[in-house]
Chain A
């Protein structure tokens, strides 16, 4: 049941959805910049209280597209067991091999979780509200040839598909009596081969089909390409970036001049 939830939740969370929301309307360049800024500031800021503030700000942003709140919740549900395992593992290792106190270790772990969440939100926003085609055009505008960008974008586009395929594979193996929930940890890890190998094989077949179809539809015919609709950087996009940037700037300044609360 739990793993079923994992594939379902993550697969759905990362999926692009069509909608007329504000976040969909924002220029892909603005969104890419938003991702970059958030990653930079989350890595730069070490203080937990400030990180939590950044997290809250990002959560507020999510409400611009209501489905994103649901998606974020599903994403968390899917990742929760892994985060929990890593946190517990880190705490145990730190306590066993270092002299750091339990409280400090706990705060360190909360900080890294907060960081992961801060970074996860903009990526979720980008993937759920932007199509690969828009991202490719964004790169093309700054002179990067589309043939270099497409492979990465296709990889992104295939994440949800691979997840849903993994779920089918997982189901097919369980139907043959493979129990992923029982036994020692090492045995369970070994059993993962039953999912990983078919996933790789199916992905290779898919990749081959895709290459054939792209080739026949003129992919790479020329270094240049046209775009049937032009993305436009409007006032709203500028405003979006200004708001984000000033927020993060405030956070950094606050981190430097105010005393730590946590």
Chain B
């Protein structure tokens, strides 16, 4: 069995007290030096696989594992976690949870100290690890002051320090903004090519990742596809099995157009694109496009004036924000991690009160109203559903919000919203037992049950797979149709390209950089770059093809309709 970095034979695993296997009959071998992506829907066993190859299953989790597992030539099931320490490293989904120490340098030294390396070696290894990730400037920083991207790099450095042959990353891109995603993937490519580290990335966000990997595996309890990225993408696009995987919109476009060539990146698609649609390069005059204009006829439902906010630590998070939100609008607030998105929306229901300036919600100054009063008008759903569940059943969880808001027929309303969200069958289950996607829906349902005028979702798409994102989008679009106002914060630009938004507000460093219609914003590369946000693929392609003067589609569906319409 040696000669392979990872080898699984007929591996099946059941978590303790479960009757359905988390993964079933997996046969998989990964060679040294490969850069592999494992994609699949939520609940498809991706994280389980990561735990198996790192020995955490069965040694920490228990349960029943059958079949053979060999990592760097070691039978990890028989020989225990200790036998593979130093050979393999893992970056977990929430990397800040795996940081032990308070100073970056200490954290990087941690594994080496445990493994009794001598001081000289440790010091030189710290140096090497920090150099290869370019984080020398973080050396003496406190680990709790780092950004999400920085934490990931520190965790990686702490693993690199013991020079493992294999590194596994479990959904590393979920909480990163587009620029940080690119940065991390470049680092991984460098580790793979220059240092020969075998890299396994578990992820359903493929748009960026797919350009980097040498092999793509689709896992849905069993291995559904396994091969070169381009071939696997073609298989997914031609079958029904791609559930939950985010396929680059550029690849979808070419499949729609019946192309046999499936591009993985915008730059490699441009020539084929021109041929495919036989476009003349000349195009009409101005783009047939809406330009965002301020509405002066009605009063805004939310309005901030010169809003400043300073945290107890002295960090200034918002610097003079002036925005108005009107009834019935669908708005996205975008910006890199740390740009102030969450701080801003916390002002909409009075959770935070301005340090300077004012926020008015339905004409009420938030500084003189309690959150409970303002929440009647503005429902805010936060990123982590686990921060709000505490009742014994799903139904009670929803009824709790309804009762707080003084809804008279709470149970009736709660049952109705459960039906609407397809959660009725889970009404008596514990909110902790249901899947991540279901928890996300439950969190939203528990706000919608009391029917607030406006709904605000903070980073609603972080960490959920593509089919759940589309499900969420449908819910939001329905709300808009019913005349509600929806505001979402995100750095998931590809998701935004599918949403029928009225307006995008771009935040950077606590200030409003710009606001406008999606086509105004998403076609403005310079602006997006200043906000550290990458444009979606379809606008990139249209600009590259020089068509942005006549059409401004946001996603592959729009582009395809526009171009095939012109052709006819």
Instruction: Judge whether A132 and B312 touch: CB under 8 Å.
Output: no
Instruction: Give Cα A4–Cα B352 distance, bound, in whole angstroms.
Output: 9
Instruction: Judge whether A176 and B400 touch: CB under 8 Å.
Output: yes
Chain A CB count within 10 A is highest, among B370, B405, B446, for B370
The verdict on B122 contacting chain A, using a C-beta distance below 8 Å, is yes
Instruction: Judge whether A213 and B113 touch: CB under 8 Å.
Output: no
Instruction: Give Cα A216–Cα B332 distance, bound, in whole angstroms.
Output: 40
Instruction: Judge whether A225 and B113 touch: CB under 8 Å.
Output: yes
A218's partner among B94, B105, B114 (CB-CB below 8 A) is B114
Instruction: Judge whether A168 and B384 touch: CB under 8 Å.
Output: yes
The verdict on B109 contacting chain A, using a C-beta distance below 8 Å, is yes
Instruction: Judge whether B111 and A217 touch: CB under 8 Å.
Output: yes
A226's partner among B97, B122, B126, B352 (CB-CB below 8 A) is B122
The verdict on A178 contacting chain B, using a C-beta distance below 8 Å, is yes
The verdict on B257 contacting chain A, using a C-beta distance below 8 Å, is no
Instruction: Judge whether A176 and B386 touch: CB under 8 Å.
Output: no
The verdict on B28 contacting chain A, using a C-beta distance below 8 Å, is no
Instruction: Judge whether A216 and B388 touch: CB under 8 Å.
Output: no
B111's partner among A17, A169, A206, A218 (CB-CB below 8 A) is A218
Instruction: Give Cα A160–Cα B145 distance, bound, in whole angstroms.
Output: 12
The verdict on B85 contacting chain A, using a C-beta distance below 8 Å, is yes
Instruction: Judge whether B116 and A225 touch: CB under 8 Å.
Output: yes
Q: Give every chain A residue within 8 A of B97 (Cβ-Cβ).
A: 205-206, 209-210, 213
* Given A173-B388, A176-B375: A74 in contact with B312 (beta carbons within 8 A): yes
Task: List B134-182 residues whose CB lies under 8 Å from chain A.
Answer: 140-142, 144-145, 155, 158-159, 162
Task: List B367-413 residues whose CB lies under 8 Å from chain A.
Answer: 370-372, 375-376, 379-382, 384, 386-390, 400-401, 404-405
Q: Give every chain B residue within 8 A of A215 (Cβ-Cβ).
A: 56, 60, 81
Instruction: Give Cα A175–Cα B404 distance, bound, in whole angstroms.
Output: 10
Per-residue 0/1 for B76-112: is the Cβ within 8 Å of any A Cβ (1 yes, 0 no)?
0000011001101110101001101111011001111
Q: B443 — nearest CB in chain A belongs to which residue?
A: A172
* Given A133-B101, A212-B56: A175 in contact with B144 (beta carbons within 8 A): no
The verdict on B521 contacting chain A, using a C-beta distance below 8 Å, is no
Q: B140 — nearest CB in chain A belongs to which residue?
A: A18
Per-residue 0/1 for B303-347: is the Cβ within 8 Å of any A Cβ (1 yes, 0 no)?
000000001110000000000000000000000000000000010
Per-residue 0/1 for B109-131: is the Cβ within 8 Å of any A Cβ (1 yes, 0 no)?
11111111111001100100000
Q: A127 — nearest CB in chain B belongs to which residue?
A: B102
Instruction: Give Cα A169–Cα B141 distance, bound, in whole angstroms.
Output: 27
Instruction: Judge whether B88 and A171 touch: CB under 8 Å.
Output: no
* Given A168-B384, A212-B92: A1 in contact with B353 (beta carbons within 8 A): yes
Per-residue 0/1 for A119-144: is the Cβ within 8 Å of any B Cβ (1 yes, 0 no)?
00000000000011100000000000
Q: Give every chain A residue within 8 A of B118 (Cβ-Cβ).
A: 226
* Given A12-B312, A212-B98: A198 in contact with B388 (beta carbons within 8 A): yes
Q: Give every chain B residue within 8 A of A213 (Cβ-Cβ).
A: 90, 92, 97-98, 100, 155
The verdict on A187 contacting chain B, using a C-beta distance below 8 Å, is no
> How close is A242's CB to chain B, nearest CB, in angstroms?
29
Q: Give every chain A residue within 8 A of B493 (Cβ-Cβ).
A: none
Q: Give every chain B residue within 8 A of A97 (Cβ-Cβ).
A: none
A171's partner among B113, B351, B404 (CB-CB below 8 A) is B351
The verdict on A181 contacting chain B, using a C-beta distance below 8 Å, is yes
* Given A176-B400, A217-B158, A228-B122: A17 in contact with B142 (beta carbons within 8 A): yes
Instruction: Judge whether B375 and A8 touch: CB under 8 Å.
Output: no
* Given A18-B140, A217-B111, A228-B123: A154 in contact with B54 (beta carbons within 8 A): no
* Given A133-B103, A198-B389, A216-B90: A8 in contact with B312 (beta carbons within 8 A): yes
The verdict on A107 contacting chain B, using a C-beta distance below 8 Å, is no
Main secondary structure on A side of the interface with B: helix
Instruction: Judge whether B115 and A221 touch: CB under 8 Å.
Output: yes
Instruction: Judge whether B60 and A212 touch: CB under 8 Å.
Output: yes
Instruction: Give Cα A9–Cα B314 distance, bound, in whole angstroms.
Output: 12
Query: How many pairs of residues, A versus B, come closer than 8 Å at their CB atoms?
Result: 192
Instruction: Judge whether B375 and A174 touch: CB under 8 Å.
Output: yes
The verdict on B192 contacting chain A, using a C-beta distance below 8 Å, is no
Instruction: Judge whether A175 and B375 touch: CB under 8 Å.
Output: yes
Instruction: Give Cα A213–Cα B159 distance, bound, in whole angstroms.
Output: 10
Instruction: Give Cα A8–Cα B51 distance, bound, in whole angstroms.
Output: 36
Instruction: Judge whether B111 and A16 touch: CB under 8 Å.
Output: no
The verdict on A222 contacting chain B, using a C-beta distance below 8 Å, is yes
Instruction: Judge whether A132 and B98 touch: CB under 8 Å.
Output: no
Q: Give every chain A residue within 8 A of B112 (Cβ-Cβ).
A: 226, 228
B142's partner among A16, A173, A194, A214 (CB-CB below 8 A) is A16
Instruction: Give Cα A131–Cα B400 distance, bound, in whole angstroms.
Output: 42
Instruction: Judge whether B390 and A228 touch: CB under 8 Å.
Output: no
Instruction: Judge whether A177 and B387 touch: CB under 8 Å.
Output: no
> How close is B366's CB to chain A, nearest CB, in angstroms?
11
Q: A13 — nearest CB in chain B belongs to which residue?
A: B312
A175's partner among B89, B94, B102, B349 (CB-CB below 8 A) is B349
Q: Give every chain B residue within 8 A of A212 (Cβ-Cβ).
A: 51, 54, 56, 60, 90, 92, 98
Instruction: Judge whether A202 and B372 touch: CB under 8 Å.
Output: no
Instruction: Judge whether A177 and B102 touch: CB under 8 Å.
Output: no
The verdict on A69 contacting chain B, using a C-beta distance below 8 Å, is no
Instruction: Judge whether A214 and B100 touch: CB under 8 Å.
Output: yes
Instruction: Give Cα A219–Cα B82 distance, bound, in whole angstroms.
Output: 10
Per-residue 0/1 for B435-459: is the Cβ within 8 Å of any A Cβ (1 yes, 0 no)?
0000000000011001000000000
> How close is A227's CB to chain B, nearest CB, in angstroms?
6
Instruction: Judge whether B312 and A221 touch: CB under 8 Å.
Output: no
Q: Give every chain B residue within 8 A of A205 (Cβ-Cβ).
A: 97, 386
Instruction: Judge whether A176 and B114 touch: CB under 8 Å.
Output: no
Task: List B22-64 residues whose CB lies under 8 Å from chain A.
Answer: 51, 54-56, 60
The verdict on A95 contacting chain B, using a C-beta distance below 8 Å, is no
> How close is B457's CB to chain A, nearest CB, in angstroms?
11
Instruction: Judge whether A176 and B89 touch: CB under 8 Å.
Output: no
B313's partner among A12, A132, A171 (CB-CB below 8 A) is A12
Instruction: Give Cα A76–Cα B102 distance, bound, in whole angstroms.
Output: 24
The verdict on B15 contacting chain A, using a C-beta distance below 8 Å, is no
Instruction: Judge whether B102 and A157 touch: CB under 8 Å.
Output: yes
The verdict on A81 contacting chain B, using a C-beta distance below 8 Å, is no
Q: Give every chain B residue within 8 A of A224 (Cβ-Cβ).
A: 116
Instruction: Give Cα A161–Cα B90 distance, bound, in whole angstroms.
Output: 22
Instruction: Give Cα A222–Cα B353 distance, bound, in whole angstroms.
Output: 51
Q: Give every chain B residue within 8 A of A133 (Cβ-Cβ).
A: 101-103, 106
Instruction: Give Cα A133–Cα B140 distance, bound, in whole angstroms.
Output: 13
Instruction: Judge whether B388 and A221 touch: CB under 8 Å.
Output: no
> How close is A116's CB to chain B, nearest CB, in angstroms?
22
* Given A175-B379, A179-B370: A15 in contact with B111 (beta carbons within 8 A): no
The verdict on A110 contacting chain B, using a C-beta distance below 8 Å, is no
Instruction: Give Cα A99–Cα B381 distance, bound, in whole angstroms.
Output: 55
The verdict on B362 contacting chain A, using a C-beta distance below 8 Å, is no
Chain B CB count within 10 A is highest, among A175, A209, A229, for A175
12 contacts between A and B (CB under 8 A): A4-B352, A168-B384, A171-B346, A172-B388, A176-B375, A202-B384, A213-B97, A221-B82, A227-B113, A228-B105, A228-B123, A229-B119
Known: A213-B98, A221-B115. 10 other contacts (CB 8 A): A18-B145, A131-B102, A175-B375, A176-B375, A177-B401, A202-B384, A213-B100, A219-B110, A221-B82, A228-B123
Closest 5 CB pairs of A and B: A213-B98, A177-B404, A209-B97, A218-B114, A217-B111
